[in-house]
């Protein structure tokens, strides 16, 4: 288990280098979520913001919709289903019960995802959020993570955390995220 907290940009560089040597099982790291923007040629800031807004259920323009490509995630990266209600539920939970262990966003709404379906085989599986003093922290579980797609996924999770923190009465700052990918690979291929 990794206990050292690292920036998202440093984590991405580390996981990219490590994954180039071959797949890594049960990859863990603890991320400082105070700056979750990791820009790459595949994911400049405008693309990151588009994907996060879209996956959080917000309207995007036609120009923004053009950013969406299979190379950037395809159906496996579509987390919109019920997301607004899931975020509302976490806000309600942490508002009513600040010490709760039940502030969870499950990505799949399918209890038995079809293994042959990209739409069911979401990489991001679950996000657990919790308050610790004046920080919003969390744990995320990924079925698989392509290092090349990490910037999009971590921006999405950071955007969720920012939205939750903004809506909580305590107005916590973003803390850390314990990150577990059951399989780390270099690219989606």
Are 184 and 24 within 8 A, CB to CB?
Answer: yes
Could you tell me if residue 67 is inside a domain?
no
Strand 124-132 vs strand 145-146: parallel, antiparallel, or unpaired?
Answer: unpaired
Could you tell me if residue 112 is inside a domain?
yes
In 33-172 the beta strands, taken as DSSP E runs, fall at 104-106, 124-132, 135-142, 145-146
Whole-model pTM above 0.85?
Answer: yes
Q: What is the pLDDT of residues 126-185, one digit of tens each?
A: 999 999 989 999 999 998 899 999 999 999 999 999 999 999 999 999 999 999 999 999
Could you tell me if residue 64 is inside a domain?
no
CATH of the domain at 27: 3.30.572.10
Could you tell me if residue 13 is inside a domain?
yes
Which structural domain, as residue segments, surrounds residue 40? 5-58+74-185
Are 27 and 178 within 8 A, CB to CB?
Answer: no
Q: What is the pLDDT of residues 31-67, one digit of tens each?
A: 999 999 999 999 999 999 999 999 999 999 999 988 8
Could you tell me if residue 29 is inside a domain?
yes
Contacts (Cβ under 8 Å, ≥6 apart) of 146? 19, 123, 185, 186, 187, 188
Could you tell me if residue 22 is inside a domain?
yes
In the chain the beta strands, taken as DSSP E runs, fall at 5-7, 24-32, 104-106, 124-132, 135-142, 145-146, 173-185
Query: What's the domain count of the chain?
Result: 1
């Amino acid at each position: 288990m990794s206990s050292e907290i690292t920036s998202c940009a440093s984590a991405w560089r580390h996981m990219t280098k490590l994954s180039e040597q071959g797949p890594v099982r049960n990859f863990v790291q603890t991320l400082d979520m105070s700056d979750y923007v990791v820009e790459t040629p595949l994911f400049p800031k405008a693309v990151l913001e588009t994907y996060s807004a879209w996956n959080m259920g917000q309207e995007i323009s036609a120009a923004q919709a053009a950013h969406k490509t299979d190379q950037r995630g395809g159906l496996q990266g579509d987390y919109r289903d019920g997301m607004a209600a899931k975020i509302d539920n976490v806000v309600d939970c942490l508002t009513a019960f600040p010490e709760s262990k039940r502030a969870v966003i499950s990505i799949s709404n399918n209890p038995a995802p079809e293994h042959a379906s990209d739409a069911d085989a979401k990489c991001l599986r679950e996000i657990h959020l919790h308050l610790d003093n004046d920080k919003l922290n969390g744990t995320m579980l990924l079925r698989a993570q392509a290092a090349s797609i990490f910037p999009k996924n971590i921006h999405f999770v950071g955007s969720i955390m920012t939205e939750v923190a903004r809506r909580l009465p305590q107005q916590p700052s973003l803390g850390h995220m314990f990150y577990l990918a059951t399989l780390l690979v270099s690219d989606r291929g």
